[in-house]
Structure 1
Amino acid sequence: MTTPPEFATKRRLELFDALVGLFLAEGFSHLTLDEIAARLHCSKSTLYTLAGSKEQLVRSATVHFFRGATDEVETRIADIPGARERIIGYLEAVGAALAPASDRFMADLDAFPPAREVYAQNTRLAAERVHQLIDEGVAAGEFRAVHAALAADIAATMMERIQQRGVREATGLDDAHAYRELAVILTAGISK
């Protein structure tokens, strides 16, 4: 009997969600494929249907996490009126999406180049989104005529420092709080 495609897709999503939850809570560098399979209540061969190696599994899980986080962030800001509120909502939502990530996960992510690059790419995309939101605010007359690319670059620089744990080391703020503070500082700086 063949597994229906909709079940396979649903099962894959459930496994990726469980995998992301495990990695966010505990990190991934110390886990073997056998341990991951046991924790997810599946076989190693099932894990191999998701990715060909542990390294690919980690990268795929990281991509899955950031896709879900991006969807969650955009959903949270979809109905927010006003550019200032949208930027604050956006950066707060980014912080909230990262809040479940344990220190162990973030350290593992930083130490594993393929996963670190996924995070860096998502940080660049988030900075581009902030740029768009600033442009919208300037066009609507909510923000003074700022150089939106510079303001977005400042945001991107801080987002990279947050990603690389520099903000935590310098200030003691976790990622979620750092994003909230960035939102307040950024929007105050460009407001009329």
Structure 2
Amino acid sequence: MQSSPATDFGTARRTQLFDQLLTLFLAEGFAQLTLDDIAARLRCSKSTLYTLAGSKDDLVVAATVHFFRGATAHVESRVGAVDGARARITAYLTAVGQALDAASARFMADLGAFPPAREVYETNTAIAAQRVQDLIAEGVAAGEFRDVHAAFAGELAATMMVGIQQGRVRAATGLDDAAAYRELAAILTGGIDA
């Protein structure tokens, strides 16, 4: 079944609005913005925003989901472009850091303080940790890594990923998120090398 041109335009417009909304939120956070502020900044009506979500809270959650969906696509495209477990883990963690570079400290603080959006973030962190665990298991099976407990290594990665995303690693080390993810990749893959 093909969509009509009107449906295509509607979908394209919704995607464009979500992209603009996400750019705004990533740069400035969302807690201090009202729906009126958001509508003015996006140059649309509040009723247009209500076509995206039923409330500001729902809009924040939808934008957060949109962010992680885009980040996941970016990360997986980077992983798919390389061969070997070490390169894939390095590409994965580096791409996660790059995706998070777009998020301001204000956005991350607002994300942490708003339970529905924080839940989206925590779910995605758990998925990312599982992905790292799977990549480690693939490397062990291929003989590229020594026989390590993949779940433990995945949990180690997840703990560090949360620390990076919450700003604790930056505060303790001065490393920005992308550099912290590169260090995590180096330590993780070096520590499990065959």
Q: Distance in 1 between matches of 2:86 and 2:113?
A: 35
Q: Distance in 1 between matches of 2:75 and 2:144?
A: 22
Structure 1-normalised TM-score?
0.96
What amino acid is the match of 1:93?
Answer: A
Q: Which runs of 5+ in 2 are unaligned?
A: none
Q: Distance in 1 between matches of 2:176 and 2:22?
A: 20
- Judge which range, 167-176 or 26-35, deviates more: 167-176
Show the counterpart of 2:138: 136
What amino acid is the match of 1:159?
Answer: M
Q: Distance in 1 between matches of 2:5 and 2:113?
A: 38
Q: CA deviation at 1:3?
A: 7.8
Instruction: List 4+ stretches of structure 1 deviating above 4 A.
Output: none
What amino acid is the match of 1:171?
Answer: T
Matches within 5 A, 1:105-184: 105-184=107-186
Q: Distance in 1 between matches of 2:117 and 2:22?
A: 12
Q: How big is each residue's C-alpha offset from its partner over 1:51-104, in whole Å with a ceiling of 9 and x where there is no partner? A: 111111001100000001001100111120110010000000000000011111
Q: How big is each residue's C-alpha offset from its partner over 1:100-128, in whole Å with a ceiling of 9 and x where there is no partner? A: 11111111111111111111110000000
Q: How big is each residue's C-alpha offset from its partner over 1:141-180, in whole Å with a ceiling of 9 and x where there is no partner? A: 1001111111111001111222222212221222222111
**Aligned pairs, how many?**
191
What amino acid is the match of 1:58?
Answer: V
Secondary structure (helix, strand or coil) at the match of 1:182 reads helix
Q: Is contact 1:135–1:148 with CA below 8 Å preserved after alignment? A: yes
Structure 2-normalised TM-score?
0.95
Q: Which runs of 5+ in 1 are unaligned?
A: none
Q: Distance in 2 between matches of 1:3 and 1:41?
A: 23
Matches within 5 A, 1:89-100: 89-100=91-102
Alignment partner of 1:59 is 2:55: no
Q: Distance in 2 between matches of 1:117 and 1:178?
A: 23
Show the counterpart of 2:103: 101
Q: CA deviation at 1:6?
A: 1.1
Q: CA deviation at 1:36?
A: 0.6
Alignment partner of 1:14 is 2:43: no
Q: Distance in 2 between matches of 1:81 and 1:100?
A: 27
- Judge which range, 175-184 or 134-143, deviates more: 175-184
Q: Distance in 2 between matches of 1:58 and 1:148?
A: 34
Match of 1:36 among 35, 38, 49: 38
Show the counterpart of 2:190: 188
Q: Distance in 2 between matches of 1:178 and 1:78?
A: 22
What amino acid is the match of 1:17?
Answer: D
Q: Distance in 1 between matches of 2:29 and 2:176?
A: 17
Q: Distance in 2 between matches of 1:176 and 1:108?
A: 20
Q: How big is each residue's C-alpha offset from its partner over 1:3-61, in whole Å with a ceiling of 9 and x where there is no partner? A: 81111111110000110011011111111111111111110000001011111100110
Q: Distance in 2 between matches of 1:174 and 1:62?
A: 21
